[in-house]
Structure 1
Amino acid sequence: METKHLILNHNSKEVSAKTDQKVDLIVTSPPYPMIKMWDELFEIDSLAKNEEEIGNEFKKSISFLNEIWNESLRLLSEDAIVCINIGDATRKIGSQFRLFNNHQKIVEYFLSKGFVQLPSIIWRKQTNSPNKFMGSGMLPVGAYVTLEHEYILIFRKQKRDFLKNNEKENRLESAFFWEERNVWFNDVWDVKGVKQRNNILNSRERTAAYPFEIADRLIKMFSVKGDTVLDPFLGTGTTTLAAMLNERNSIGVELDEGLYLNFVDSLKKDNNTITKKMNKKIDERISEHEDFVTNSQSEVKYFNENLKTRVKTKQELRIKINKIKSIQIEKEKNEALLRVNYF
């Protein structure tokens, strides 16, 4: 089996001009409006001093994102699912401290486009720092609650039917383990964040990366082998790597040339190392499942011939996990195509 991964150093507002490939799933984490590190991208006037002025700046940044959502929807199949990791923002305007509800604006947009919202996931990113609280410390009225969570918003238009034989087989092979389901489909995820400092030449100061585990779970939960995953805000390539690991195709778009070059060049330079790291994740997943089987307090009676391990339910009998055999890279100036082959 081979999967293909198109990486574009391009403006996400024009991605449909670069490909007509149909997309089955969006997994992305866009820039967060009203977070200062993104002011330049959104052309935010940091000197805005009153509610009306800052309200206009907020609307402008939301409109920026909506243009990219508009373009992304051009590639979506009718039964595609959209997963967006977004955090709200807090900011002091003059002497007034307030919240900017980014997640609500994204919900409003997708509902206006005829999507149905599915239950969201709360990603908890708590910190134990003694200085994390904002405001007047121990004095009432003037202190503010600390934001220690982000949202993973999930949308779709219609339920997907797996009518073709290859789609049915891909779905069976893409099933997840019983114990994984019991963790992933809870509405609160405790997943550790990743370092944000960016030392990449000609790039922004922070990567704004989100954890591999977030993208990995979402791709396993809401797509099957052979599907195509889109990330219009590729960043450090987390979504593409998760798609590669899970035998999905992908399209990733990144405006920042430094991030684009770093991701593609690292794949070329450290190809074997990255392949080994990815395959190690597969070994760890199977090992964790076998630990579950060994320690289970109830009977695990079914046997998966592909993985040579017992499983809890009949729906897990056909799970098949292939390791990465090779990654081939075809690179042009602002575009790269990765071809991934599996054992």
Structure 2
Amino acid sequence: MDILTEVLGSMRTGRPASVRTEGRAPWGMRLPPVAGAGFHVVLRGSCWLLSPDGAAPRHEPVPLNAGDVVFLQDNHSHVLADDPGTPAAAAGPARFRPGSPIGALSLGGDGPRTTLLCGAYHLDQGRPHPLVRQLPEVVHLETRHGRHPELSGAVGLLRAELEEERAGAAGIVPALIDALLLYVLRAWLEEQPATAVAGWSAALRDPVIAPALTAIHEDPAARWSVESLASRAGTSRATFARRFHTLVGEPPLAYLTRWRMTTAARLLREADHPLSVVAARTGYGSEFAFAKAFKRAYGLPPGGYRRHAAATPMPFAGRHS
């Protein structure tokens, strides 16, 4: 069981939106919050990531160079510019050619050029997974000088596909952007110090907690207890419970319930299984018990959640030309 893949797969609510952005100095664009997570890949040139004009700085200006990748938590606007002193305007609408999954946007003057891939991953915000909650507001990953070779390889492939139109690009580019999110989170986890005593980077490599997490993710419907999970981990109940809470950030059964509800939400969004099937797959013996737990977690009954998910339009539609 690949827990990182499972976590992200359970939270994704649609394909990522993305725009190839060409900025020629001087240029600056203000980007609105997104319901999920924003990302930027610097394909060529350099620029700066800044807090919006007039807003209290949430972070120091971040210089970005070719090959850098930025991942931003939701609900925060931000600015990209060729220079910290360049005024920023709201980003204009991207243009989408028929059949192309990637929009195009050009801005600025006639100075040095920077090429970026900007976009958003649409993530379920009802109950964000604690792994995602533990991320900093800005994850900045550099791929120069041999750092994060797999992420660097993905950036290189994206650059090649976006700079030259070739057969198959419409299928290759979205797949690369999907993979980019996993590369980003894996690279961030691997950057965390091996001496970390808490957090998901520690939990995923811990010989006691990792097997228990794998068991929960492999079979959320099982009748897990703290005792059975501790037995799976090969330790005492008290030691396991204390260690799990320290590393994961919540007690074992609270995490079990969280994962069951996350799994249920994914099943409701992506398939038309009867509620009895969803209940059984997430460890509930009756539709009533499942519906009560689901409403407590998401604020909507399962049927209402499914209807809302089906009726919610995909954001970032763009403008065709």
Tell whether the structures are fold-level matches, with TM greater than 0.5.
no
Q: Larger % of strand: which?
A: 1
TM-score (norm 2): 0.23
Q: Larger % of helix: which?
A: 2
Higher relative contact order (CA 8 A, sep 6+): 1
TM-score (norm 1): 0.22
